[in-house]
A and B are shown apart, each in its own frame.
Chain A
Amino acid sequence: MKPIEAIRIAWEAIAKNKIRSFLTMLGIIIGVAAVIIMVGISAGTEAAIQEQITSLGSNLVFVQSSFTRGRPGQGPQSGGLVFDDSTAIQDEVEGVTAVVVEQYSSETVRVGDVTLEEVEILGTTTGFPSVRDIDIAEGRYFYDLEIERKQKVAVLGSSLAKELFNNESPIGKYITVGSTKLTVIGVLKEKGMVGNTDYDSRVYLPISVVFQKFTPSFFARIMGDSVRMIYVELDEDANLDSVITQIELLLAKRHGVSLEEADFTVTTQQDIIETQESTTAAFRSLLAWVAGVSLIVGGIGIMNIMLVSVTERTREIGIRQAVGATPNDIRIQFLTEALLLSIVGGLIGIVLGVGGAYIFSAFSGMRTVIMVHSILLAFGSAAIVGAFFGYYPANQAAQLDPIDALRYE
């Protein structure tokens, strides 16, 4: 029997039972579509995050407070990162072009009769928009002088500005943060979520104002005002490793700790990308499992229907054997049918998957990336599943005895 003949026979058998064939393919269709959509979404988010991270520039080093690993009873010998650490880095480490600090708080914000609870307050320095790659939509960011003088000025994230002022321009208007009245001098452009940080719903204040009004501490007078994060921007041609070592040694010395007990961590852009990659890789392998299971379920559906089909068509098998079909001819015929079911199912799944990914993007605004390799993978697995689960029924058919098959009613 020629392959083309096997395909023709299989196709006719499938076409004779359109609804049943479609239901049989459904498992494969869903499996393949799910793979394409899910991989598309995960690849899309990954690409979006990657882009945002790299847009921040690779010459950035993050210094963060971490819990003191000191021995018990030693007490808060150091209070973690303090503002003066940032000035020290700026002054003493070679290859540093800018240093920006961050400290958070959370306060009630009021404008007229609008009150928002637990708004994130972010104290920063002038270089912040540049290191975080944020543009100003309206007005301006604060100046060094305003930080020095603890001027009561504020810059709003885009969605917060909308919530507080609707579509009016907030520039020059007053907001009350906690019990402090501040003048709005700028609004940031929309930035969206980066990782799990929402840049658009925060109030940005001069760090000095945050120290004074929102995070005053007893220790501040002795050890300085603590900060959550210090961004260190490097010269284009600075040696990254050398800068990291310098920062680590400097801070260890300032905090009076050894490097092993450091109460801070120094990370690079690269480290963040790597963490990101390892989480998306975990997500992807989870997807692969889900997809694999749904394809196997689809395969079992094919096997089930093929077994029914072999039983129903026992007489047909007998007739074919009587006119000269060998066991192998029969096996190939049913295997082709199972393969064709899974391949057609796979093709429909691809169409639905690609279409579904576009629709998902259109409605959710999330980016999806259609990966050619995910299409090939899904399609290939569908075909393999068809062949694997089609083999047993096909073999059952091939082993029928011609006379028994002809007698079957």
Chain B
Amino acid sequence: MMSARKIIETIDIRKIYGMGEVSVAALDGVSIDIEEGEFVAIMGPSGSGKSTLMHILGCLSRPTSGQYLLDGEDVSRLNKVELAAIRNRKLGFIFQSYNLLTRTTALRNVTLPMVYDRTKEFTPEESDEKASRILEHVGLGERAHHQPHELSGGQQQRVAIARALVNDPVLLIADEPTGNLDSQSGEEIMTLLHRLHQEGATIVMVTHDSEISAHTQRTIHLLDGRVETVVKNGKKKPGKEKVEK
């Protein structure tokens, strides 16, 4: 067994919304580990806390209690500014509704995270060059100068994926990335995510589709804010075998 680096380790995470009698425990003690290079699906009925968990994993919100170690660093008590820096450098978030800037070209959407990167200095040429390279990589090289309203849903989601990749994150977080897409485009997006996984990306993805989750390595089932079961799926770790297209 090769001992892989843990990208995610959560210890008894709780997220309580509201206060007193009306409070809701959206997450009620979630402990999960995700290793480097893993492709993990998260499933569960509506309201089971999937999005809440993704927001915490994505450092968009903090757990009410419990610990979250991201890439070995405890991020559960960081302040807003520190969380912003973590989101910028370590995480790539892919939303169900793409969340692209309107009236802004694909290229500008992809360069957006670089604008907020304090650790590196990019010249405009460098960042444009990098963004076009990644757009090329997700198969949108020719659409770099199109605005979101000129692109199909699947193409918009590719732009969003390119944006998530641009700062070389340690983790890709996707909350129902195919939820707004027809099955054809959904499949294309899944193919792209699998390819990124082959290339070494660590991915956590919420899905409602058991067909899709079956092609990941593990599925974590949530129920009422707790981990119900963890199921190993057929997908092999990348690099060991050729993966069927």
Tell yes or no: B89 within 8 A of A by CB. yes
- Please measure, in the bound complex, the distance between the C-alpha atom of A328 and the C-alpha atom of B163, giving whole angstroms: 22
A328-372 to B contact mask, C-beta < 8 Å, 1/0: 110000000000000000000000000000000000000000000
Using Cβ atoms and an 8 Å threshold, which residues of chain A touch B167?
324
B19 to chain A, nearest CB (A): 16
| Structural contact, A326 and B99, CB atoms closer than 8 A | no
Tell yes or no: B88 within 8 A of A by CB. yes
Q: Which of A390-408 contact B (CB under 8 A)?
A: 401-403, 406
Contact A322-B81, Cβ < 8 Å, known A402-B60, A403-B55 = no
Interface size on B, residues (CB 8 A): 25
- Please measure, in the bound complex, the distance between the C-alpha atom of A403 and the C-alpha atom of B15, giving whole angstroms: 14
A400 to chain B, nearest CB (A): 11
Using Cβ atoms and an 8 Å threshold, which residues of chain B touch A319?
99-101, 112
Q: Which of A5, A318, A322 contacts B115 (CB 8 A)?
A: A5
Tell yes or no: B95 within 8 A of A by CB. yes
Using Cβ atoms and an 8 Å threshold, which residues of chain A touch B115?
1-2, 5
| Structural contact, B116 and A322, CB atoms closer than 8 A | no
| Structural contact, B103 and A326, CB atoms closer than 8 A | no
Tell yes or no: A201 within 8 A of B by CB. no
Q: Which of A323, A327, A402 contacts B113 (CB 8 A)?
A: A323
Q: Which of B60, B87, B102, B116 contacts A403 (CB 8 A)?
A: B60
Tell yes or no: B84 within 8 A of A by CB. yes
Tell yes or no: A110 within 8 A of B by CB. no
- Please measure, in the bound complex, the distance between the C-alpha atom of A176 and the C-alpha atom of B55, giving whole angstroms: 101
Using Cβ atoms and an 8 Å threshold, which residues of chain A touch B103?
16
| Structural contact, A327 and B81, CB atoms closer than 8 A | yes
- Please measure, in the bound complex, the distance between the C-alpha atom of A403 and the C-alpha atom of B95, giving whole angstroms: 12
Tell yes or no: B117 within 8 A of A by CB. yes
| Structural contact, A324 and B88, CB atoms closer than 8 A | yes
- Please measure, in the bound complex, the distance between the C-alpha atom of A341 and the C-alpha atom of B189, giving whole angstroms: 42
| Structural contact, B80 and A323, CB atoms closer than 8 A | no
Q: Which of B159-201 contact A (CB under 8 A)?
A: 163, 167
Tell yes or no: B144 within 8 A of A by CB. no
| Structural contact, B81 and A315, CB atoms closer than 8 A | no
| Structural contact, B101 and A325, CB atoms closer than 8 A | no
Tell yes or no: A320 within 8 A of B by CB. yes
Tell yes or no: B93 within 8 A of A by CB. yes
Name 11 extra pairs, CB < 8 A, besides A322-B58, A324-B167, A402-B60: A1-B115, A1-B116, A318-B99, A319-B99, A319-B101, A322-B93, A323-B88, A401-B61, A402-B61, A403-B60, A406-B99
B interface residues, Cβ below 8 angstroms from A: 55, 58, 60-61, 80-81, 84-85, 87-89, 93, 95, 99-103, 112-113, 115-117, 163, 167
A-B contact pairs, 13 of them (CB 8 A): A16-B103, A316-B102, A318-B99, A319-B101, A319-B112, A321-B87, A323-B87, A323-B163, A324-B85, A324-B167, A326-B81, A328-B81, A406-B95
A interface residues, Cβ below 8 angstroms from B: 1-2, 5, 16, 315-316, 318-329, 401-403, 406
Q: Closest 10 CB pairs between A and B?
A: A324-B88, A324-B116, A323-B113, A326-B84, A326-B81, A402-B60, A325-B116, A324-B87, A319-B99, A323-B112
